[in-house]
Structure 1
Amino acid sequence: MSFSLNARHIQDMSAAATLEPHWGYADRALPCTSDAGTCAYLDADYSAHDRGMLYTGILWSVICAILLIWACWKHYDHSSTNSALFAPRLSGIYKVRRTLAALTHRYLLPDACRAIFGRTTRLQVLVLAALAGYLLIFSFVGIQYNTWVTPVSEMSDAYQTRSTIGPWSDRVGVLAYALTPLSVMLSSRESFLTLVTGLPYQTFNFLHRWLGYIIVVQGSLHTIMWCIVELRLYQPQPTTGIEWVTQTYIVWGIVAMILLLAIFFLSTPWGIRFTGYETFRKVHYVLAMVYIGACWGHWKQLKCFLWPSLIFWFIDRGARLVRTAILHYHPDQLDQSRVLGFKTAEASVTRFPESDNGDVIRLVLENPQDPWAIGQHYYLCFKQGSIWQSHPFTPLNAPVVSQGKVKHSYIVRAKKGETKRIADLAANGISKTPVILTGPYGESMTRALTPDTNIICVAGGTGITYVLPVLLELAQRSPSPDRKIQLIWAIRHSSNTEWVGEELAFLWKAEKALNLKIDIFTTRDSTVKGPSSSAEDQSGISTPDLDEKAVNISPACVSSASGICDCSSCTPGENLSFSSDCKKKHPCLHKLIPDFLDMNIRGPTTVFASGPGGMISDLRSIVASCNSGSKVWHGHEKFDVSLVCDDRLER
């Protein structure tokens, strides 16, 4: 009751015959013994709050309903895809699904307002707009807009001005609390949303960031409006303002707002550059939890939104530790040097020196574990650097279990930080380094590799690690005669093929069986030179002997800044094609992708891509333009083109 008295001091709690409970709010003292204006204001205030709680319930009911429908559809889709028995009966549903997919890709795949949202698809911006629209509408609906001027007791010349500002700012604050668990869920690496939808956790980073911006705006408006009410509209001043600001729940509210603003400023590009990305991540975790605690101290009646936030956060952190322990817990190898059977993986390091973009290192290790799915990645922590940092990298090899162990191979661009430190160790003759793994994370791309789906892989530089496992997986399967496959890889120098020489040699042997075409574009070489013709380079990694093959050297397409180029001189190469001419030549995706689709006999096409942001943005526009819902509806599945890209900042 003392908390209610402090929070709603305009009520006469001592004269109340009963206390009416309100979920998420202070109890209402009934009957109201104050003046008519104050009682009318309290009626409007409590009514607005109750409606606000109803709207938050509707919001979460809609979110849960969407997730439930998504999970059911995901299960149904898996069952129908894996069961040939239901294929004839599902032909109509299959046709509708393909048509809707083509329409979605056509209109929602390209980037949306890059100046504001960055390299983000229209679909994600549409989801954000729907959420923001709901919040905007229901921040104002169900509130009685009025002003009540009432006299101050025992002061004939002072008046209280009570208005809709109070109930409205409370509504905004309630919505900010209600969004907190969703924000934590969107940021989790061990994501419940990934478990339900099948989408990788990094897909939700955009919504997490912008939802945070919305919470900052809501918290700021809530704080500013109540400062206006208590420090200006309520009388007498400054007595009322001082009594208000010194109350415990207000102090916690001020602390929560300061923490929220600190989180916001540190998460801006300038804040991240100032502190460093790893420092930003650690500080972000700590400040977020302290902020939730301050919100609890400010208004514990809304702890129904704070408990789930804490639970999701601790589950995320605990699950990461469990994943790491499972990967490195080997009790059969227990000795005095290892604690509880925990053993790091020893990775061999091969360095490929480069002068213009940082060295590249290849890590190869073996670990007793279950195989991962194609498309998933691991977080690697380099023990010789810092145990407080880990970076996501995609294994470039297909997972194969041999004698209880799975081989991992990684290509890492070592520009600065921990990766640069490992490259420096390799330059000084250190050939092995201990690595701690966490994972796997991300979506499985296996379901996209159906026999009737054509595959085109596009990679830039070290992005080859994302698309190469797809090709290696297809090379191990029974070939599909009507399927066409193409690899487009842009690298700076032809010698960069040594990074994945062993894998390229394997694909070279399977080229005809796979109906595979490989195009490699060199962007910095003044003259074309194939990779080393020796069977083994100094690192012991075999490279394809291209000098013995017919290599077609075709002029490169020059991409302009707008992504539009003149492709009249482009001649597609046969088999393995090296393209190099003049300066900074890049593959002309505006011609290569449509040309690939024109060669297809039947079936949809999936484009797997990883590389610079500009390349991914161009691909989104190109793939979108290649889709046609009407043509797919009339049976031309070649116009159903999907894009699967690696949108992580680090590979």
Structure 2
Amino acid sequence: MKREIIYAPLGTKRHNHELQLSKAHNCGTIPSRIQTVLLTLYLIGNIVFCLLLDFKQESLAMLAELRGRTGILAVANLLPLVVMAGRNNPLIGLLKISFDTFNLFHRWVGRLVVCESVIHVLAWFAAYKQSMGTAAASRSFVNDPFLCWGLTGSVCMAVMAIQSVSPLRHAFYETFLQVHQILAAVGLLAVYVHLDIPKLPALPLIRIALCLWLAERLLRFARIIYLNHSRQSGSTKLIVTALPGEASQLSFRLPRHVNIAPGSHVYVYLPKLALWQSHPFSVAWTSTASEPSFGVDIEPKTPGTAERQQSIHPRGFPASRTPTRLSLICAARTGMTRKLYDIARASPSGSVEMAGFVEGPYGGHESLASYGTVFLFAGGAGITHHLVQIRHLLASAHDQMVATRKIVLVWTVREAEAFNWVRDWMEEILKMPGRREVLKVYVYVTRPRKLEGFISAGQRMQLIPGRCCPGSVLDQELPHRIGATMVSVCGPGGFADEVRAAVRARIHLATLDMTEESFTW
């Protein structure tokens, strides 16, 4: 079941490796096999409901029935569409399904809603044209608010479908996001007025959809205000530091204490660069007081980390109320991430303080505490998803509070200078009690150049020039596993697909589970 359905890609291997028309045109990812099965069943259910018509009746009556069925289905599907688009979706925590998966279903259900809306309009137009003529059908919109609002809602959804086409969405993502949210608000309101005028049976459904959409937005706004402002400590402070290897470190000092579970991510708002936009980042490091208590003192010991945290952390707070500090790593690519890196690099000190806010934390539902052996695969900046997990598992294993007895971290980077992104944090991890008995670290450098000084004295990590072969790592370490095994991966889509293929090929060798952290869009 795991090998052929749950963990299987739709085809042979490709799942999160994005389809590229060219370097500038991205066609998105392919659903997995289980996702395709669920989406297909959902689609079949909608088609069957639409086509359960009495084909023996006259055409006008049949068109009216088709119009009613597609209209009700389009409105009913708005409920899961709105829920799955929300970051505060309660089903994420209840079902332990990632936001990324719900976002994929959101896109496909949205396409279904658009198709049903178009059929709804065409069925009405065909019936009206047949009974009153083409000219009368066109004039009917002039003085009829009911039809005008319905057409407005359908047009908004159709435009959303066009701008959501993957190459357009990826090429102009920041513009897409703003326009998409405006059209969604206008479309929902238009459908509500369309149903409210004649008090149609689907009116309660659109009311629920509007309430869910508004509640999610208000909750996000409330979380941002609560997390980033305090009467006692003021507002969130952010320091952006340019790092070697074209990356930025974002160090946040929040004005209040917040618990952040290992494996969490946050959304970052940078008003100077994008007023309304937010971008997701894995939490690379936190102050230890922000984690669930596990009884081991692992406060920062390396000068670099201590100095950076000292600069944004006020003293004098009780341990339970210490304002949370968290750090993120942002690889400079295009758009906001590139602008952020350029601003920090242009500063004489290589760092700059700017206004910034965080929303979250989200995620962190996948607990690794019950697994005796944990493999953590990371590609590039994907290492940030694993660092707090490692710290938490090592400290808890030392206190014998988790089942974990073996951790294997496999990190693949293009150039060795990427290690500077996490050097101080890795030094702290490597100095933790019991680390030598539990943790192994393999670092693969695909473009090895200057490797001297890459690792501090002690040879506590293995540096391997060349590409990582996940299957070889599993073949080497699985025979020495302890208990049930979890494989977690965070990195580029192609690398994640390699890990997935390696796990599927060896899933019969052990009690083997897999989880993947991704932010596909």
Q: TM-score range by the shorter chain?
A: 0.7 to 0.9
Q: Deviations over 1:219-273 (max 9, x none)?
A: 1222222222221x325x3565356454432222222221111111111123325
Q: What is the alpha-carbon distance in structure 1 between the residues aligned to residue 3 and residue 286 of structure 2?
A: 28
Q: What is the alpha-carbon distance in structure 2 between the residues aligned to residue 228 and residue 593 of structure 1?
A: 61
What's the counterpart of residue 197 of structure 1?
95
Cα deviation for residue 489 of structure 1 reads 0.5
Amino acid at match of 2:477: F
User: Is residue 266–residue 272 contact of structure 1 (8 Å, CA) maintained in 2?
Assistant: yes
Q: In structure 2, do the counterparts of structure 1 residues 239 and 647 end up closer, same or farther at CA, with 3 Å as the change threshold?
A: closer
Of 369, 374, 386, the match for 1:449: 369
Cα deviation for residue 482 of structure 1 reads 7.7
Cα deviation for residue 127 of structure 1 reads 1.7
Cα deviation for residue 205 of structure 1 reads 0.4
Cα deviation for residue 279 of structure 1 reads 2.3
Q: In structure 2, do the counterparts of structure 1 residues 512 and 120 end up closer, same or farther at CA, with 3 Å as the change threshold?
A: same
Amino acid at match of 2:166: P
User: Is residue 230–residue 241 contact of structure 1 (8 Å, CA) maintained in 2?
Assistant: yes
What's the counterpart of residue 514 of structure 2?
643
Cα deviation for residue 459 of structure 1 reads 0.5
Q: What is the alpha-carbon distance in structure 2 between the residues aligned to residue 262 and residue 595 of structure 1?
A: 52
What's the counterpart of residue 330 of structure 1?
230
Q: What is the alpha-carbon distance in structure 2 between the residues aligned to residue 472 and residue 251 of structure 1?
A: 58
What's the counterpart of residue 376 of structure 1?
264
1:8-407 equivalence runs, <5 A: 103-104=1-2, 106-113=4-11, 118-141=29-52, 143-148=53-58, 162-231=60-129, 233-234=130-131, 237-238=133-134, 241=137, 244-246=140-142, 247-273=144-170, 276-300=172-196, 301=200, 302-333=202-233, 341=234, 343-347=235-239, 349-354=240-245, 359-367=246-254, 368-401=256-289, 402=319, 404-407=322-325
Q: What is the alpha-carbon distance in structure 1 between the residues aligned to residue 102 and residue 404 of structure 2?
A: 36
Of 596, 607, 617, the match for 2:497: 617
Q: What is the alpha-carbon distance in structure 2 between the residues aligned to residue 500 and residue 309 of structure 1?
A: 43
Cα deviation for residue 487 of structure 1 reads 0.7
Cα deviation for residue 180 of structure 1 reads 0.8
Q: In structure 2, do the counterparts of structure 1 residues 459 and 164 end up closer, same or farther at CA, with 3 Å as the change threshold?
A: same
SS at 1:332's partner residue? Answer: coil
How many correspondences in the alignment? 465
Q: What is the alpha-carbon distance in structure 1 between the residues aligned to residue 404 and residue 203 of structure 2?
A: 58
Q: What is the alpha-carbon distance in structure 2 between the residues aligned to residue 271 and residue 437 of structure 1?
A: 28
Cα deviation for residue 465 of structure 1 reads 0.1
Q: What is the alpha-carbon distance in structure 2 between the residues aligned to residue 189 and residue 109 of structure 1?
A: 24
User: Is residue 267–residue 278 contact of structure 2 (8 Å, CA) maintained in 1?
Assistant: yes
Q: In structure 2, do the counterparts of structure 1 residues 595 and 286 end up closer, same or farther at CA, with 3 Å as the change threshold?
A: same
- Greater displacement, 306-315 / 285-294: 285-294
Cα deviation for residue 398 of structure 1 reads 4.8
Cα deviation for residue 448 of structure 1 reads 2.0
What's the counterpart of residue 501 of structure 1?
423
Cα deviation for residue 512 of structure 1 reads 4.8
User: Is residue 286–residue 327 contact of structure 2 (8 Å, CA) maintained in 1?
Assistant: no
User: Is residue 520–residue 576 contact of structure 1 (8 Å, CA) maintained in 2?
Assistant: yes
What's the counterpart of residue 377 of structure 2?
458
Q: What is the alpha-carbon distance in structure 2 between the residues aligned to residue 289 and residue 310 of structure 1?
A: 9
4+ long deviations beyond 6 Å? none
Cα deviation for residue 590 of structure 1 reads 2.1
Q: In structure 2, do the counterparts of structure 1 residues 514 and 385 end up closer, same or farther at CA, with 3 Å as the change threshold?
A: farther
- Residue 483 of structure 2 corresponds to residue 483 of structure 1: no
Q: What is the alpha-carbon distance in structure 2 between the residues aligned to residue 273 and residue 464 of structure 1?
A: 24
User: Is residue 379–residue 412 contact of structure 2 (8 Å, CA) maintained in 1?
Assistant: yes
Q: Structure 2: which 5+ runs fail to align?
A: 20-26, 290-318
Of 458, 469, 472, the match for 1:549: 458
What's the counterpart of residue 339 of structure 2?
421
User: Is residue 244–residue 420 contact of structure 2 (8 Å, CA) maintained in 1?
Assistant: no
Cα deviation for residue 291 of structure 1 reads 1.1
SS at 2:159's partner residue? Answer: helix
Q: What is the alpha-carbon distance in structure 2 between the residues aligned to residue 421 and residue 526 of structure 1?
A: 27
Of 476, 479, 487, the match for 1:598: 479
Q: What is the alpha-carbon distance in structure 1 between the residues aligned to residue 118 and residue 150 of structure 2?
A: 11
Larger Rg computed on CA atoms: 1
SS at 1:405's partner residue? Answer: coil
What's the counterpart of residue 443 of structure 2?
520
Q: In structure 2, do the counterparts of structure 1 residues 399 and 109 end up closer, same or farther at CA, with 3 Å as the change threshold?
A: farther
SS at 2:343's partner residue? Answer: helix
Q: Deviations over 1:559-590 (max 9, x none)?
A: xxxxxxxxxxxxxxxx522122xxxx310012
SS at 2:374's partner residue? Answer: strand
Q: Structure 1: which 5+ runs fail to align?
A: 1-102, 149-160, 334-340, 532-543, 551-574, 629-637
Q: What is the alpha-carbon distance in structure 1 between the residues aligned to residue 217 and residue 328 of structure 2?
A: 25
What's the counterpart of residue 461 of structure 2?
576
Amino acid at match of 1:370: V
Amino acid at match of 1:252: W
Q: In structure 2, do the counterparts of structure 1 residues 196 and 598 end up closer, same or farther at CA, with 3 Å as the change threshold?
A: same
SS at 1:189's partner residue? Answer: coil
Q: What is the alpha-carbon distance in structure 1 between the residues aligned to residue 139 and residue 336 of structure 2?
A: 53
Greater relative contact order structure (CA < 8 Å, 6+ sep): 2
Q: What is the alpha-carbon distance in structure 1 between the residues aligned to residue 360 and residue 278 of structure 2?
A: 11
Cα deviation for residue 139 of structure 1 reads 1.8
User: Is residue 590–residue 622 contact of structure 1 (8 Å, CA) maintained in 2?
Assistant: yes
What's the counterpart of residue 58 of structure 1?
none
User: Normalising by the residue count of structure 1, what TM-score does the alignment of the two structures yield?
Assistant: 0.67
Of 346, 349, 356, the match for 1:435: 356
Q: Deviations over 1:594-618 (max 9, x none)?
A: 3322221x41111121110011122
Q: What is the alpha-carbon distance in structure 2 between the residues aligned to residue 251 and residue 434 of structure 1?
A: 43
Please, what is the CA RMSD of the aligned residues?
2.5
User: Is residue 264–residue 363 contact of structure 2 (8 Å, CA) maintained in 1?
Assistant: yes
Q: What is the alpha-carbon distance in structure 2 between the residues aligned to residue 641 and residue 163 of structure 1?
A: 56
User: Is residue 93–residue 365 contact of structure 2 (8 Å, CA) maintained in 1?
Assistant: no
User: Is residue 190–residue 201 contact of structure 1 (8 Å, CA) maintained in 2?
Assistant: no
Cα deviation for residue 471 of structure 1 reads 1.0
Cα deviation for residue 117 of structure 1 reads 7.9
Q: In structure 2, do the counterparts of structure 1 residues 238 and 122 end up closer, same or farther at CA, with 3 Å as the change threshold?
A: closer
- Greater displacement, 164-173 / 454-463: 164-173
- Greater displacement, 182-191 / 298-307: 298-307
Aligned identity (percent) is 22
Q: What is the alpha-carbon distance in structure 1 between the residues aligned to residue 62 and residue 436 of structure 2?
A: 73
